[in-house]
Amino acid sequence: MRKLLSTVESLAALSLLLIAAVTASNVVLRDLFAVQIPDWFDGSKLLMAIALFWGIAVATYHGAHICVDVVWEHLSKPGRRLMDLVSGTVTLAFLGPMAWMVWTKVLGSGTQATTDLRLPLIWFTSVAATGAVAAALLAVVRLIDVARGVEDRAVELAAAHSSTDTDRGAPAEEPRGP
């Protein structure tokens, strides 16, 4: 599972790196040499879709969404687990149909291609749609882990991090749920 998560994280990060590299390179080329990278705009949009869907997959599994846990922090451990199960179920209820609809859109795109290089869009959109499916599947894995009471890697890392902060005199924090 760790290898799969590492691959998912790497794909999302690589997509963001490529967006930054293509955009920066295009700006330099345009300003210094008055030329542009063909399809830089289409390519960056397609890479952004890949980064978003695969990033959603990672965030869903780790329960590391950007949120304010006003209620969750004041619940008992069983209450937190119940809230995690409810929120995970709601998340899955959105991610499952989203993955289905993204694939419907991808398979209906036909022979659409980028403007300059005429690269088939299906190459990029298939990778993004696979990220949407990964998000739904990792939501299922997360729900199973929460139901079984299994702590995930993100919680373990947070616990390890807080114990090193405690050693330096900083107050320890409890690991957060989704």
18-22, 135-139, 149-153: which has the minimum mean pLDDT?
149-153
Residue pair 175/159 in contact by the 8 Å Cβ criterion: yes
d(C-alpha 5, C-alpha 70), whole Å: 28
Query: Pick from 43, 14, 11, 49: which is nearest to 26 by CA?
Result: 43
Residue extents of the structural domains in the chain:
2-167
Q: Count the neighbouring beta carbons within 10 Å of the beta carbon of residue 148.
A: 7
Q: How confident is the model at residue 157, as a pLDDT?
A: 47
Mean pLDDT, residues 89-111 taken together: 93
pLDDT value for 159: 57
* Tokens, residue 4: 């799969």
Could you write out the three-class secondary structure of the chain?
A: CHHHHHHHHHHHHHHHHHHHHHHHHHHHHHHHHCCCCCCHHHHHHHHHHHHHHHHHHHHHHHCCCCCCCCCHHHCCHHHHHHHHHHHHHHHHHHHHHHHHHHHHHHHCCCCCECCCCCCEHHHHHHHHHHHHHHHHHHHHHHHHHHHHCCCCHHHHHHHHHHHHHHHCCCCCCCCCCC
pLDDT at 176 > cutoff 80: no
pLDDT-derived band of residue 109, with 50, 70 and 90 as boundaries? confident
User: Has residue 150 got a pLDDT over 60?
Assistant: yes
Average pLDDT, integer, range 27-41:
93
Q: Please, how many CA atoms are within 13 Å of residue 143, restricted to the half-sphere of its CB? A: 16
